[in-house]
Structure formats: C-alpha cells, structure tokens
Amino acid sequence: MKLLPWPWGEYTDIRPFDAYNVSINSRSQVKEEAWEFVKFLLAEDTQFYLSERNFAVNRKADEKRIAVFDEELEKYNLLGEDNIKAISYIKNSINKNRALGVPDELFNTIWNEIKIYLPGSRSIEETAKVIQNKVELYLNE
C-alpha cells in the first residue's frame, strides 16, 4: 500500500492546498485584541490543532504534526521510502506552488475593482456592477 500524493492539475503543475487568511482592518477599533487573536491562531498548540490533515505554519507545530503523521504511517506499516519522499516533496513544493504566483487576468480584473471599493471610493453595488460588466465582457471575448 502506498500513500497517494496530492492531486495535480490535469494540464498544469498546480496542486490544491488549504489556506486560512486573516487580516486586521486598518479602521478597526479593537486592533490590539485582533493582534492577540492572530497570535493565538499562530501559536504552536492552535497550529497543531488546525494542521490535523495539513502542514502547519508554526515550525514547532509542523514538526509535531509530521511526527504524529509518521507514527500513523508506521502503525499501519506505510512508512516506506516512497511515502517519505512524497511527503518531503509536498513540503518542499508548498511555497513554490504556481497558484501562489501572479493570478490570471480575470482575477486581476476583479481584484483591481475591489481595491477601488475597499477604501470607500465606490459603493458595493457600483463595484458589483462594474465587476459583472467586466467579467461578462471578458468571458464574451
């Protein structure tokens, strides 16, 4: 029995991955509390819990998670050289995933309109209409 690698894109080298994004609004009235929450999310224990089937951002939590994962593989006699190589390959490719690079033209179009909306330069309704029109034009071309 072998550990199956993460799936690849059919025509690309892109692999799916889970990610959690957190930000603090510059106009927040509770920035200190928000920073405490971000610190909590990045703490070793929290990262270990969140990484149950993934890799952790916190290095100590990641080392613990890999150790637990190795124990599970060993328990079921799956800790072979192929699996160790697969895990190593996945870990080493995480920051090199092309999905993290420059997004496609459609995403850029949407994101440029969102950047106009975020500082309050345009209403959400206007922004949605502009995005709708640009996406339809893009898709029709």
Contact 104, 137 (CB under 8 A): no
Per-residue confidence (pLDDT) for residue 74, from 0 to 100: 80
Phi-psi region of 14 (alpha: psi -120 to 50; beta: other; left: phi over 0): beta
Q: Are residues 64 and 130 in the same domain?
A: no
Q: Are residues 50 and 61 in the same domain?
A: yes
Q: Are residues 61 and 7 in the same domain?
A: yes
For the cut 60, the answer to whether the pLDDT of residue 16 exceeds it is no
CA distance 100 to 94: 9
Instruction: Provide the terminal-to-terminal Cα distance of the chain, rounded to the nearest Å.
Output: 48
> 32-41, 52-61, 76-85, 92-101: which has the minimum mean pLDDT?
92-101
Owning domain of residue 127: 102-141
Q: Are residues 95 and 59 in the same domain?
A: yes
Q: Are residues 78 and 22 in the same domain?
A: yes
Q: Considering only residues 139 and 128, tell me which one the structure prediction assigns the higher pLDDT.
A: 128
Number of structural domains found in the chain = 2
73 Cβ contact partners less than 8 Å away, ≥ 6 residues apart: 3, 79, 83
Q: Are residues 57 and 13 in the same domain?
A: yes
For residue 76, the SS3 value is: coil
Region 50-76: mean pLDDT is 82
Q: Are residues 46 and 8 in the same domain?
A: yes
Q: Are residues 2 and 40 in the same domain?
A: yes
For residue 55, the SS3 value is: coil
For the cut 60, the answer to whether the pLDDT of residue 3 exceeds it is no
Q: Are residues 59 and 127 in the same domain?
A: no
Q: Which two tokens stand for residue 55?
A: 């890799």
Contact 31, 24 (CB under 8 A): yes
